[in-house]
Amino acid sequence: MNYYEARQTKDGTGWHFTCQNGADVWAVGNCREHPPHATREEAEECYCDAVLESLETFQRDPKHLLICAECKQPTHRFATTKDAGFAQRIPLCAIHNTRAIYAKHFEFSPVFVSSY
């Protein structure tokens, strides 16, 4: 099992969003590429931004109508992220299929467990 959350660095100089599997802990998302953050909240925001950067759009079978989360109109589309731990399928029509609208309806949890 993988356990994701912001953790303080071993030397106590800052925070990264990390994954832990057994005794192994490593930085994930954009935190792999830069120095530690000053706070837990900054590390969580950094990871949330990385998740939102991986936004993808899919179209469902025309027989299955969804309701756009923003305008409540019928749609065959939904948006999701590539991040398996945060793959929230949010129905969004072609007009509202943007990162800003997805982020508005996206529910980020700062701690989660994944079997991936």
Q: Where are the alpha helices (DSSP H) in 11-64?
A: 40-53
Residue 71: inside a domain: yes
Contact 1, 115 (CB under 8 A): yes
Same domain, 25 and 40: yes
Whether the Cβ atoms of residue 28 and residue 82 lie closer than 8 Å to each other: no
58 and 41, same structural domain? no
Co-location of 35 and 59 in the same domain? no
The domain in which residue 38 lies consists of 1-50
Residue-wise pLDDT for 14-59, tens only, equals: 999 999 999 999 999 899 999 999 999 999 999 999 888 888 888 8
- Whether 115 maps to a domain, the answer reads no
Same domain, 18 and 42: yes
pLDDT tens track for 77-101:
999 887 756 678 899 999 999 999 9
CA–CA separation, 2 and 16 (whole Å): 16
Kindly state whether residue 104 falls inside one of the protein's structural domains: yes
Task: Give the count of domains, the chain.
Answer: 2
Judge whether 43 lies within some domain: yes
44 and 1 assigned to the same domain: yes
